[in-house]
Amino acid sequence: MFSTREQVLGQALYDAIPMMEFDIKGTIVSANTDFLTLLGHRLNELSGKPYTVICDPATIDDGRAEDIWRRVSGGETLQETLKLQARDGSARWMQACLLPVRASMGKMERVILAGCDITAIKQKELASRNLLKALSDTHAVVEFCARGQILFANDSFLQLTGYSLNELLGRPHRKLCEYDRGLSSEYSDFWDGLAKGQARHGECVRYGKDGRHIALSASYNPVLDDAGAVTKVVLYATSIARSDMDSLKDAA
């Protein structure tokens, strides 16, 4: 028997966040207004239906939805990022907790799904990933640690310079630069600025494996963590045609 305090807390949660209730077989029993609004359904459209009716089809096909239900119906409390399908077929994302509820004798009785809508966050993440993929598909890309050692280079950069990835991993950025520039105070200032979060853009000359001069339009972009510290630097570059390599000011 729940106390009055527990009932008040339960009602407060029910009124505050999207929630849905299932019986032990996975049949939808009830859902609050926030959950119905999130998916664009009315309760009579969902009541009595299996849990799969709100699942993203891909999670059904790959067995993830079934695995989650098997675990929670077996008594395991889960915290999951769930991709659901709204009434109009669009995707909705929840940061959710699935709570098995037991009767007084300890027998599994029902399952509560409660969480918050993170659809907007996921959409921004997807847009960012698509943008980064587009940049990677059209640019030479190199990732450096904050001290300048190479962490990654994409195929476009490797083809442009003639190096293999293994030949570059862990090597300093100055390996790609003119020897004297790599020892200059301007070069030190360049990396000091990046380490402070200052992006650098411009045209520059880099050296391929065979010693070729390669003119680039380059953008060096510091990546910051939540505390504002630089965790890595990402270079996006495109090759440009220049006949006057010696006069090209190395701005990046």
d(CA 95, CA 194) in angstroms, rounded, equals: 35
Q: Which domains does the chain have, with CATH numbers?
A: 4-122 (3.30.450.20), 139-247 (3.30.450.20)
d(CA 252, CA 247) in angstroms, rounded, equals: 14
Write down the pLDDT at residue 169.
Answer: 96
Residues 85/93, Cβ–Cβ less than 8 Å: no
- What's the token pair of residue 129? 């990933």
Write down the pLDDT at residue 104.
Answer: 73
Amino acid at 68: I
d(CA 131, CA 121) in angstroms, rounded, equals: 15
Q: Tell me which residue of 86, 102, 2, 97 sits closest to 46, measured CA to CA.
A: 86
Coil, helix or strand at residue 179: helix
Write down the pLDDT at residue 182.
Answer: 81
Write down the pLDDT at residue 252.
Answer: 53
Residues 219/206, Cβ–Cβ less than 8 Å: no
Q: Tell me which residue of 98, 93, 91 sits closest to 114, measured CA to CA.
A: 98
Give the number of other CB atoms < 10 A from CB of residue 51. 22
**pLDDT tens-digit profile, the chain (252 residues):** 455 655 545 565 666 689 999 999 999 999 999 999 999 999 999 999 999 999 999 999 999 999 999 999 889 999 999 999 999 999 999 999 999 998 777 788 899 999 999 999 999 999 988 988 888 889 999 999 999 999 999 999 999 999 999 999 999 999 999 888 888 999 999 999 999 999 999 999 999 999 889 999 999 999 999 899 999 999 999 998 765 555 555 555
- What residues have CB less than 8 Å from 76, skipping those under 6 apart? 100
Write down the pLDDT at residue 14.
Answer: 61
Q: Tell me which residue of 235, 224, 232, 228 sits closest to 200, measured CA to CA.
A: 235
Write down the pLDDT at residue 142.
Answer: 96
Write down the pLDDT at residue 114.
Answer: 94
Q: Tell me which residue of 89, 83, 86 sits closest to 118, measured CA to CA.
A: 83
Write down the pLDDT at residue 117.
Answer: 95
CA dihedral 10, 11, 17, 20 (to 10 degrees): 80
d(CA 127, CA 135) in angstroms, rounded, equals: 12
Give the number of other CB atoms < 10 A from CB of residue 8. 11
Beta bridge partners of 232: 145, 223
- Model's pTM, two decimal places? 0.64
Give the number of other CB atoms < 10 A from CB of residue 113. 24
Residues 87/37, Cβ–Cβ less than 8 Å: no
Q: Tell me which residue of 59, 57, 51 sits closest to 20, measured CA to CA.
A: 51
Q: Where do runs of H (alpha helix) occur along the chain? A: 4-16, 33-39, 43-46, 57-61, 64-73, 119-138, 155-161, 165-168, 179-182, 185-195
